[in-house]
Amino acid sequence: MDVKGKLIVVTGGASGIGRGLCRRFAREDARRVIVADVNEAGAQRIADEINGTAVACDVSMEEDLTRLVRFTEQEFGGIDLFCSNAGIIILGGVEADNESWKRIWEINVLAHVYAARAVIPGMIKRGGGAFMVTASAAGLLSQIGSLPYSVTKHAAVGFAENIAITYGDQGVRVFLLCPQAVRSEMTRQGGGVAAVDGLMEPEAVADAVIESFRRDEFLILPHPEVKTYMQRKCADYDRWLQGMRKLQARFLEGVPLKRQ
């Protein structure tokens, strides 16, 4: 897929991966980039920088995503690519409170559902389009230190897989972005265990997205090591779990981390 001349929407576009995507799409001569974010001022700054359009949007609210899609289609025409990118992390395990679970579920999972529900019917009617879910390597492996993040990112992976199967023969291309740690507000205090292979810049993630688009690859892995970890997990699940427990112990003890 070539993004040149395309109308693109990016949620969470004011910072981190979203900001990197907006800038890269503009450099690739997208027709228009819609920068959507709950941080309206931040979205406007990026939109001004790339000659795009800022839209305030809280992805945890279905009506906001419906309004975002309706506004874009009314003002600029059919959406060619929707990047459902916004996400949060909440630390902790089963003890995390219910409100935290609800909030991360709404943003990391239901927001993808709301966006797809709003945009995919129009894509099918027009004969095609593309939808990208930003999940995480945590959705393919796990996230030591954050059960809510791991669970919701696994759900996001499953969602992307299913809509790729369901709508692939109706002209909708689906992409799944699964990086490890990326420099952003989420990793301001460091990337934790996810940064074991380094903290990637958002611009490098955007580069990987463009390359995978060109190859029409469903699974986008900016950190190529993740594919090896997935293969090890599938080859011997019990051994992989043992290795992850060792990694967790080293993390909790403050030992410098490096994958074996």
Per residue in 26-40, pLDDT (tens digit) is 999 999 999 999 999
pLDDT at res. 195: 63
Integer Cα distance of 17 and 176 in angstroms: 14
Residues forming a β-bridge with 82: 9, 131
Please report the pLDDT score of residue 181 as a whole number.
Answer: 87
Contact (Cβ atoms closer than 8 angstroms) between residue 65 and residue 131? no
pLDDT over 80 at 119, yes or no? yes
**Percentage of the chain modeled with pLDDT above 90:** 87
pLDDT at residue 255 greater than cutoff 60 = no
At 2 the pLDDT is 97
Higher pLDDT, 190 or 233: 233
Give the model confidence (pLDDT) of 213-231 as tens digits.
999 999 999 999 999 999 9
**Residue spans of beta strands (DSSP E) within the chain:** 7-11, 32-37, 53-56, 81-84, 129-134, 172-177, 219-220
Distances (CA, A) of 180 to 47, 84, 97, 139, 200: 26, 17, 25, 10, 8
Phi first, then psi: what are they for 237, rounded to 5°?
-60, -45
What is the average pLDDT across 69-76? Answer: 98
Distance of CA 153 to the CA centre of its chain: 9
What pLDDT score was predicted for residue 186?
63
Cα(6)–Cα(98) distance, integer angstroms: 40
Q: Name the token pair of 116.
A: 């797809």
Average pLDDT, the chain: 93
| Residue of 149, 167, 229, 237 marked catalytic | 149
Q: What's residue 198's pLDDT? A: 75
Distance of CA 35 to the CA centre of its chain: 15
Q: What is the pLDDT of residue 228?
A: 96
Lowest mean pLDDT among 11-15, 246-250, 254-258: 254-258
Residue 149 falls in the annotated catalytic set: yes
Domains identified in the chain and CATH numbers: 7-223 (3.40.50.720)
Token pair for 65: 């995503």
The mean pLDDT of 57-70, rounded to a whole number, is 98
